[in-house]
Structure 1
């Protein structure tokens, strides 16, 4: 029996695809082993979102070949799509499998086993309009299942390589999504997270057009699923109809990750983002009109080319104004092949570091303020694991707003929904509660 080790780099969509490939391998008689162990085949699902991600992808490929020079090393995913056939010139790589071709993994592996010839399996992602059907019957997370429902992006933000690596928008058929949700529910999963490269575009490529809201309303009908969570959203999807209908669903988790990237209109224009800060703020207010205490989270890029001190201050002031639960802060990283990489006015790394640290401090302040709201309140928690801290057993889980909560208990409660009353903090990021 061939031993296979897999390693994932990058986003939740990549993680979903890696798990799907693992299950394909298991179903075809391969033995899955940890990446730290000797294997006959190493599969690295790569990332190319930054030049650093490219370097990490190359490092992992070379590390795999060093573990076993006779092994078949497979490079899959986004870096493959960006690097193309050049990867086959790398002596550490035996097979390359691009996006939208991971479903062919077994066939490609079988052929390699016959002739041991280096080969590439890459499609022209820019012209491919077919959604690659990969499915999961189980996940490594025993309570929360991530479902990839969409691929590709049509936005072409000036800093982003993903439309070139993932192609145009392609949506998964609604019936296929529902079939997988039902299968996961039958396996005991109570929470599903709908993810995609540009999730807000779900259904725009269908004829007739459909929408992410249509999909959510279908998913909530599946018996056994108690929570529906969403991946990253674009502000444009937030309409009165969208939030009004979601607010009526007892299964929907009011956790909105609304991509922002900058709180300055001039910077947003250079980024080729299709909204203003004023429009974005209206979306946040609309969500808060329909939900009592929704979790609003976002991403920010600091040090984008030509970002002045005044522009950075505008971003900081805007974050203060919106008051997010969590802000994920990234220092701008040049990505070859994008418009931003050749812009004049690249910001020095020390300046990026200072700006990043300032926003990280603000994020800690705002996150604590959001959590403080729950002190003394009753919340529903889906427990996920038991852990011990200083010898004391705690059940750990999340509220619908994705606030992490711990309850002191020796009794295993994984995958149970329980009512708890929040009493304080166990750590800076974990709230302490007791069962009601």
Structure 2
């Protein structure tokens, strides 16, 4: 990516072929008009305006187009009080990146005058910010749309929108058009900044408005964000170029684009000034940060080293790809300070053959050597991971290789998944030949092994006193406080609510599998 520019004539839409026929059964769809690159149809009594729609082929392309950085976003004057006296309800699915996108969406809506509400019945606009990683996430969204259809009938003025990663899928957009015509807005991950314009179009035209850019847009730096709590997410890059065969993310999030170092550091400094206790640096593959810079030699390790010097209590990052986890980054993380000794390092499988079929571009041996380097440099590091079972063609022997790797690494915890095909990915064309019953049996076995290590690793903390950032009350017991240790362990203890948002010391007394319990050590005791 070239140096930043402050010129912003036209933000790139990535609009490609204007033939939208694949989204329709033209026995019930009629083209009304075409103008300015937009096509308007009539289907099942609803008029649909398509500004741009997703295209898998375009989403897969990785060209050398220059990505510009814009600093002059400004809400149109006529939209600044558009939502005055009205309420907005946002439902977020999926990863931290989606959560962070929702903060931007809430920031935009707040600038438009909307107030947030947790009661969907009060809402004048409802947006579902969606995840496309797994099939069940998609099922949840369509189930929710079914529930919201009743609310839409009761309140016709309600603006209902679907955005996020699901919106970048051709099949999803087509399904919404045909089966959920009451939806008012569909937009994707590349054009969140266009939300005010899309709301305006939907309200005044009374049409469904679809604008999903297949190609990634430029980087918009000064979008508003509505953050809450003591922790903050900071995007350092967008997109992914790894193209693992099972993963839809390179299609829904576009090619890798890194934010300029000065912009990231300025945002982190401002969050520190505002009193945030912890930040999480986000990227689909944070280790690839800076690879797209053409004018400077500056990578993720350099960024972490610079952020380490900022007066901020805690810094975390997610997520890492083993292939890009270099020695310099390990060296920087070993300096600790405000860099936490917890690393999430997805492995996905312990079998070289399955890793090859997944196109992970590393071997079991490479991964284990990386783990060895990390543990040598950071002896008290806690490692967590992601693992998929039942990938097409996975044999019992290959699954056992995953079990043996889990035992060798000794993870503290893991996100485990049964493989489910995602339309548009290479793996979706592979024969899904592992029976569902076998997949479930493998998942249960894997989780049992992981739980053994979680329990064992937790037991090693018994009797220790840990620094804990108190995040709130326990979900299951209001008289118990919950927080996180430096290694991201969930810690429960009893104490006054005034401790929420503070760092305290907790003496660990009990070590269940999924969290640890302790007693609050008052500061004068901790100092002894």
> TM-score if structure 2 supplies the norm length?
0.77
- Cα distance in 1 for partners of 2:453, 2:475 equals 28
Residue in structure 1 matching 2:230, options 140, 143, 146: 143
Displacement after TM superposition at 1:276 (Å):
0.4
The 10-residue stretch of structure 1 (59-68 or 260-269) with the greater mean CA deviation from structure 2: 59-68
2:315–2:340: 8 Å Cα contact kept in structure 1? yes
2:356 is the counterpart of 1:269: yes
2:118 is the counterpart of 1:34: yes
For residue 304 of structure 2, give the secondary structure of its aligned residue in structure 1.
helix
Name the CA shift for 1:23/1:356 in 2 (closer, same or farther; >3 Å). same
For residue 119 of structure 1, give the secondary structure of its aligned residue in structure 2.
strand
Residue 111 of structure 1 corresponds to: 201
**Deviation per CA, 1:260-288, whole angstroms, max 9, x where unpaired?**
00001111011111100110001111111
Displacement after TM superposition at 1:411 (Å):
5.3
2:290 is the counterpart of 1:213: no
Name the CA shift for 1:395/1:116 in 2 (closer, same or farther; >3 Å). same
Residue 318 of structure 1 corresponds to: 405
For residue 412 of structure 1, give the secondary structure of its aligned residue in structure 2.
helix
1:103–1:133: 8 Å Cα contact kept in structure 2? no
**Deviation per CA, 1:63-114, whole angstroms, max 9, x where unpaired?**
3332123122111111111127524443132111112100111121122222
Instruction: Tell which structure's C-alpha radius of gyration is larger.
Output: 2
Residue 391 of structure 2 corresponds to: 304
Displacement after TM superposition at 1:18 (Å):
0.7
Displacement after TM superposition at 1:388 (Å):
8.8
**Deviation per CA, 1:334-361, whole angstroms, max 9, x where unpaired?**
2122221221252111000000000111
**Deviation per CA, 1:158-182, whole angstroms, max 9, x where unpaired?**
1111111111111222222223223
2:436 is the counterpart of 1:349: yes
The 10-residue stretch of structure 1 (66-75 or 296-305) with the greater mean CA deviation from structure 2: 66-75
Residue 258 of structure 2 corresponds to: 171
1:138–1:184: 8 Å Cα contact kept in structure 2? no
- Cα distance in 2 for partners of 1:270, 1:428 equals 32
In the alignment, structure 2 segments of 5+ residues that lack a partner are 1-84
- Cα distance in 2 for partners of 1:149, 1:388 equals 31
Displacement after TM superposition at 1:215 (Å):
1.8
1:82-97 pair list within 5 angstroms: 82-83=169-170, 86=174, 87-89=176-178, 90-97=180-187
2:108–2:224: 8 Å Cα contact kept in structure 1? no
For residue 386 of structure 2, give the secondary structure of its aligned residue in structure 1.
strand
Does 1 or 2 have the higher relative contact order (CA < 8 Å, sep 6+)? 2
- After TM superposition, which residue ranges in structure 1, 4 or more long, deviate above 4 angstroms? 134-138, 387-391
- Cα distance in 1 for partners of 2:102, 2:185 equals 16
Displacement after TM superposition at 1:255 (Å):
0.8
Residue 417 of structure 1 corresponds to: 503
2:166 is the counterpart of 1:72: no
What is the number of residues matched between the two proteins?
Answer: 431
2:186 is the counterpart of 1:102: no
**Deviation per CA, 1:357-409, whole angstroms, max 9, x where unpaired?**
00111111111111122112232111111349778x33321111011223322
2:329 is the counterpart of 1:242: yes
Displacement after TM superposition at 1:308 (Å):
0.6
The 10-residue stretch of structure 1 (308-317 or 102-111) with the greater mean CA deviation from structure 2: 102-111
Displacement after TM superposition at 1:137 (Å):
5.1
2:89 is the counterpart of 1:5: yes
- Cα distance in 1 for partners of 2:201, 2:166 equals 23
- Cα distance in 1 for partners of 2:419, 2:303 equals 34
2:284 is the counterpart of 1:197: yes
Residue in structure 2 matching 1:399, options 477, 480, 485: 485
- Cα distance in 2 for partners of 1:292, 1:136 equals 40
- Cα distance in 1 for partners of 2:223, 2:190 equals 13
Residue 258 of structure 1 corresponds to: 345
* Backbone CA RMSD of aligned residues: 2.1
> TM-score if structure 1 supplies the norm length?
0.93
Residue 282 of structure 1 corresponds to: 369
2:525 is the counterpart of 1:430: no
The 10-residue stretch of structure 1 (371-380 or 411-420) with the greater mean CA deviation from structure 2: 411-420
1:65–1:73: 8 Å Cα contact kept in structure 2? no
**Deviation per CA, 1:22-51, whole angstroms, max 9, x where unpaired?**
121112201222253232211111121133
Displacement after TM superposition at 1:200 (Å):
1.8
